[in-house]
């Protein structure tokens, strides 16, 4: 009786797995026969920071059709850290990079402070080239977790030298201030790491045009003093898009006959969630999707590349619909052409042009009550008005979210599971509900790397 029951359960499990894998079923059945026999040449880990199922659903409505990632869905990821049900990006990044859960705030070290080997370091031990592409500072939690080890994520001045010591071949993102001998919050970097990088053979660039002209095998691109601009505001800068940086990374790293490991992060989806800027979140999700398209196109042509995509946690507790209405109006966000901080920057000193400016960048007609909410967020100090950027921009963001019927439950992260996507050689291994630590172990296994 037991054997019969077990056979029924096993059969149902196999059926559900094949259904859940959707369009991957045929491809992955073929892959399953070959993956165990040989390691994957190239591995690309892509992290849309803060991206949960609510973001994925809202983005589908925002785009008006299925996203590039939707057909690649293979499972879900549990995100808790070692010391709490709600992770931060440091602990989440550490799990993805090392296969070990640590405490919030710690970067690729155990809760006791012992350094952990990362999949990037493991790839290098196999002679592979490596790369980091982000829209945050390169010293931020996620890129730091793959390339460095610190007990406190706020110790950002200690991270750039470790990135260079690890000899990461392609380093693209923000964080120029942390590579140069300038004061940062009272701290002082010990040396000019840009000059050190040049001596190590890196071509150094600061603009999109300079990046396009890179021809060598090693590149350091620092496009902003700290974090790069939101995609909504990027046209006002000389910064490259995430897709442009990703394409350059692929073109550079593919020269290595031993293959490569690349981590790409859409960093600012998370930042938008923290500030409840739904339009910014959707626009940065679109920017991330373009990078995904470039990566998948590369993997299809290469046929020996594994692509894994997963947010590290949810940010903000975004909802699909809200405010007691059975509806959503995400399409409103398509009319928003600037981030909330940028909109705020266009207000005059006494905030008398709030209604006109918001109309210009969002096409929304604010009510008098909404205008007053924005004015009330401005603090005054005697005769000198002082704009509290967080309060003013946050208020603008929430008003836009209300019009779009997108709700929020937190300014921080939440502990919900996040969607997991995979494509290419070995993608079948990622199907099902995974711990975030499973991701690193599967990436390491794909490259035949030992993380212990």
- For 365, the 3-state DSSP assignment is coil
- Strand pairing class (260-266; 129-137): parallel
- Annotated catalytic residues are 89
Q: Is 276 annotated as a binding residue?
A: no
Q: Is 142 annotated as a binding residue?
A: yes
- Element housing 414 (H / E): strand 413-414
Q: Taken in order 246, 252, 255, 260, is the CA torsion positive or negative?
A: negative
Q: Is 256 annotated as a binding residue?
A: no
Phi, psi of 114 (to 5 degrees): -80, 135
Q: How far apart are CA 364 and CA 396, in angstroms?
A: 11
- C-alpha distances (whole Å) from 177 to each of 11, 156, 182, 194, 227 are 57, 10, 7, 10, 10
Q: Is 270 annotated as a binding residue?
A: yes
Q: Is 369 annotated as a binding residue?
A: no
Q: Is 331 annotated as a binding residue?
A: no
Q: Is 233 annotated as a binding residue?
A: no
Instruction: Give all strands of the β-sheet with 305-310 in edge-to-edge order.
Output: 203-205, 219-222, 170-174, 129-137, 260-266, 42-48, 305-310, 418-424, 73-78, 432-435
Q: List, in sequence order, every beta strand (DSSP E) within 3-81.
A: 42-48, 73-78
Annotated binding site: 49, 140, 142, 265, 270, 274, 312-313, 413
Annotated binding site for Zn(2+): 49, 270, 274, 312-313, 413
């Amino acid at each position: 009786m037991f054997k019969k029951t077990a056979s029924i359960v096993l059969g149902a499990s196999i059926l559900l797995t094949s259904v859940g894998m959707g369009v991957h079923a045929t491809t992955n059945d073929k892959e399953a026969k070959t993956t165990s026999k040989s390691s994957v040449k190239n591995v690309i880990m892509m992290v849309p920071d803060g991206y949960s199922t609510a973001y994925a659903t809202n983005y589908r409505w925002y785009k008006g059709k299925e996203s590039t990632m939707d057909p690649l869905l293979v499972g879900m990821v549990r995100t808790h850290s070692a010391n709490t049900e709600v992770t931060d990006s440091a602990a989440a990044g550490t799990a993805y990079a090392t296969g070990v859960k640590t405490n919030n705030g710690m970067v690729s070290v155990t809760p006791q402070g012992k350094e952990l080997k990362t999949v990037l370091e493991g790839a290098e031990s196999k002679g592979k080239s490596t790369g980091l592409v982000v829209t945050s500072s390169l010293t931020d939690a996620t890129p730091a977790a793959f390339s460095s080890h610190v007990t406190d994520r706020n110790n950002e001045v200690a991270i750039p030298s470790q990135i260079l010591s690890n000899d990461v071949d392609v380093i693209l993102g923000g964080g120029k201030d942390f590579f140069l001998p300038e004061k940062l919050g009272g701290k002082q970097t010990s040396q000019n790491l840009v000059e050190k990088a040049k001596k190590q053979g890196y071509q150094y660039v600061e603009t999109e045009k300079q990046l396009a002209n890179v021809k060598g095998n090693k590149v350091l691109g620092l496009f902003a003093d700290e974090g790069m601009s939101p995609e909504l505001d990027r046209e006002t800068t000389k910064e490259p898009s995430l897709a442009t940086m990703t394409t350059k990374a692929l073109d550079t790293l593919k020269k290595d006959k031993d293959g490569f490991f690349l981590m790409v992060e859409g960093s600012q989806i998370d930042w938008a969630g923290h500030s409840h800027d739904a339009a910014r979140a959707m626009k940065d999700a679109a920017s991330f999707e373009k990078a995904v398209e470039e990566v998948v196109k590369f993997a299809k042509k290469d046929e020996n590349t594994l692509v894994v995509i997963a947010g590290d946690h949810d940010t903000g507790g975004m909802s699909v619909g809200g405010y007691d209405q059975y509806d959503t109006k995400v399409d409103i966000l398509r009319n928003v052409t600037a981030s909330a901080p940028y909109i705020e920057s266009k207000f005059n000193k006494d905030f008398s042009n709030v209604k006109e400016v918001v109309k210009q960048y969002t096409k929304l007609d604010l009510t008098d009550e909404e205008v007053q909410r924005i004015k009330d967020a401005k603090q005054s100090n005697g005769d000198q008005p002082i704009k509290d950027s967080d309060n003013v921009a946050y208020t603008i963001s929430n008003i836009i979210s209300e019009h779009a019927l997108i709700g929020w439950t937190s300014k921080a992260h939440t502990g919900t599971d996040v969607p997991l996507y995979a494509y290419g050689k070995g993608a079948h291994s990622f199907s099902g509900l995974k711990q975030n630590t499973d991701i690193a172990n599967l990436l390491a296994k794909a490259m035949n790397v030992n993380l212990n």
